[in-house]
Amino acid sequence: MAEIRLVDISKRFADGTRALERTDLAIHDGELFILVGPSGCGKSTLLEIVVGLSAPSTGEVLVDGEPVTRKDPKDRNMAMVFQGYAIYPHMTVRENLAFPLRLARLDPAEIAARVQQAAELLELGPLLERKPAALSGGQRQRVAMGRAIVRRPALFLLDEPLSNLDARLRGQMRVEIKRLQQRLRTTMLYVTHDQTEAMTLGDRVAVLRAGVIQQVGTPRQLYETPANLFVAGFIGAPAMGFLPAEIEGDRLCMPMLDLPLSTVLPGERTPVPRRLIVGIRPEHFAAVQDARAGTDGGRPLPCFRARVELIDWLGAEQHLHLDIPVVGASDWPSALPTQITCDDAGNDHLRLVARVESDTPAAEGQLIDLSLDPGKLSVFDAHTGERVGSAP
């Protein structure tokens, strides 16, 4: 068990690349903490600094309050499971599991007991005499985890451990890692570029972009109250849709709908910038033909009509790609993450995705009436990209 703190960590490589900027993070004891971000944002660099494979340019790594920044990796009591999990092909599963303990010169009886315990935990018992070539990808992954577990580290670091697996196996392994962490209750720092993995696995998640932490929170906090446009667009699939909006008097004017500002930002006291970007999650639309939609506890929800350009029918639900005409889009700040396209007649359009039930009557090329819940919208400053209202 261990609590990890990163204090003011920066990393600048010899060629001048700035991989991390003044990073502060606290990973609680027993927590499964996810670091997520696009390729090249500094995830592996941060992990390597924690485990001791790379030295930070500034700052300290603390384990249970003790600085470890200048300690050797082998003295940090941490175990790392890498992207291309390294297990020895010429050794059996048993020998692979025992290897790190032999290196540490543990007593043979202790080695046998720990290997047995890890094999039981990971359900590798029947496979102990097999060599890696005779294992599936998921089983090899479990052996790699087992080699970390036998060492009984205070912290596990996992660098994209599932990226070599196919989608189905990745799903299964996610469940296994979560179950394992719940049983072991060892602190885990898990790095991925996959937001689904982050959302489904993490107790808490940090979103990293270009070496800067954007937000730290539970998956729910990141999803419901993203701190800025980057987090809003990165977390969630299908992604949040974005619209340019302007304040006129006490109304929030969007391309397909005007709403009273008080329904979107109830109780907001600080001045709201005039130019905004409104974020809408696909599930916050509802087709108004649906008896359950269109009202909020008896109050009618605002509705609008849009053309369905394309439908992704997924069985349990369908995703309607809506075409939204936009006026005066050309002078909008580039912070708007949605692409605005211009048709042959010179009119601007953008796309929003609505997630509705699979039996909702909808057809490509047809109009549909949809409602949306103003209280569920996310509002961002169009210039800074920062969230406006209810701080995360």
Q: How far is CA 196 from the centre of its chain?
A: 6
Residue 40 sits in the site that holds ligand ATP (CB under 6 A)? yes
**13, 40 contact by CB (below 8 A):** no
Mark the segment that binds ligand ATP (CB under 6 A) among 32-40, 96-104, 114-122, 216-224.
32-40
Partners of 62 in the β-ladder: 5, 67
Mark the segment that binds ligand ATP (CB under 6 A) among 11-19, 61-69, 241-249, 377-385.
11-19
DSSP 384: T
In this complex, which beta carbon is closest to ligand ATP, that of residue 82 or of residue 304?
82
Work out the angle at residue 263's Cα, subtended by the Cα atoms of residues 259 and 269, and round it to the nearest 5 degrees: 115
What is the phi/psi pair of residue 20, to 5°? -140, 140
Q: What distance in Å separates the CA atoms of residue 218 and residue 226, rounded to the nearest whole number?
A: 11
Residue 42 sits in the site that holds ligand ATP (CB under 6 A)? yes
Q: Where are the alpha helices (DSSP H) in the chain?
A: 43-51, 93-103, 108-121, 137-149, 167-184, 195-201, 219-224, 229-234, 261-264
Q: What distance in Å separates the CA atoms of residue 290 and residue 280, rounded to the nearest whole number?
A: 20
Number of C-beta neighbours around residue 228 at 10 A: 21
In this complex, which beta carbon is closest to ligand ATP, that of residue 24 or of residue 129?
24
Residue 45 sits in the site that holds ligand ATP (CB under 6 A)? yes
Residue 193 sits in the site that holds ligand ATP (CB under 6 A)? yes
**77, 154 contact by CB (below 8 A):** yes
Mark the segment that binds ligand ATP (CB under 6 A) among 15-23, 55-63, 127-135, 219-227.
15-23
Residue 13 sits in the site that holds ligand ATP (CB under 6 A)? yes
Mark the segment that binds ligand ATP (CB under 6 A) among 35-43, 150-158, 195-203, 317-325.
35-43
**338, 350 contact by CB (below 8 A):** yes
Amino acid at 327: V
Tokens 């971000």 -> residue: 37
Among 1, 8, 17, 84, binds ligand ATP (CB under 6 A): 17
Q: How far is the CB of 76 from ligand ATP (least distance, A)?
A: 19
Mark the segment that binds ligand ATP (CB under 6 A) among 39-47, 141-149, 237-245, 247-255.
39-47
Residue 163 sits in the site that holds ligand ATP (CB under 6 A)? no
Q: Strand 32-36 to strand 187-192: parallel, antiparallel, or no bridges (unpaired)? A: parallel
In this complex, which beta carbon is closest to ligand ATP, that of residue 45 or of residue 338?
45
Residue 15 sits in the site that holds ligand ATP (CB under 6 A)? yes
Closest CA to 361 of 295, 292, 288, 300: 288
In this complex, which beta carbon is closest to ligand ATP, that of residue 37 or of residue 385?
37
Mark the segment that binds ligand ATP (CB under 6 A) among 14-22, 122-130, 295-303, 366-374.
14-22
Tokens 């649906």 -> residue: 290
Residue 114 sits in the site that holds ligand ATP (CB under 6 A)? no
Q: How far is the CB of 234 from ligand ATP (least distance, A)?
A: 13
Residue 88 sits in the site that holds ligand ATP (CB under 6 A)? no
In this complex, which beta carbon is closest to ligand ATP, that of residue 43 or of residue 281?
43
Q: Could you tell me the CA-to-CA distances from 32 to 90, 123, 155, 350 in Å, in that order?
A: 33, 21, 10, 38
Q: How far is the CB of 167 from ligand ATP (least distance, A)?
A: 18
Residue 19 sits in the site that holds ligand ATP (CB under 6 A)? yes
* Site residues (vs ligand ATP, CB under 6 A): 13, 15, 17, 19, 37, 39-45, 193
